[in-house]
Amino acid sequence: MRQSTRCCGSSTSTARNWTSWTGRVAVEALDDPDIRRLLTIPGVDVKVTLSVTATVGDLARFRSADKLVAGCRTVS
């Protein structure tokens, strides 16, 4: 365990870096209208929104929510 700490830094430092990075990503993501729209759904937070956006890509390619859901069913 000690060897990994020397190599990768302390877990506290890593957690701070991760929090800082995710915060910057969230702030930049809020510039995207699709992300802001997804965040209006109850229970959907920034992590879920970014995951959906990263997986689906451009939401404009789907004409409706039904088309989006149908597209997600075909992905395995």
**Residue 26: per-residue pLDDT:** 72
| pTM of the predicted model as reported, rounded to 2 decimal places | 0.55
Residue 1 has pLDDT above 70, yes or no: no
Residue 6 has pLDDT above 50, yes or no: no
Q: Is 22 helix (H, G, I), strand (E, B) or coil?
A: helix
Distance in angstroms (rounded) separating the CA atoms of residues 68 and 62:
6
7-65 residue pLDDT tens: 555 567 776 776 777 677 777 778 888 888 888 999 988 888 888 888 888 888 889 98
Average pLDDT over residues 71-76: 66
Contact 68, 56 (CB under 8 A): yes
Q: What is the DSSP string of 26-55?
A: HHHHTTSHHHHHHTTSTT--HHHHHHHHHH
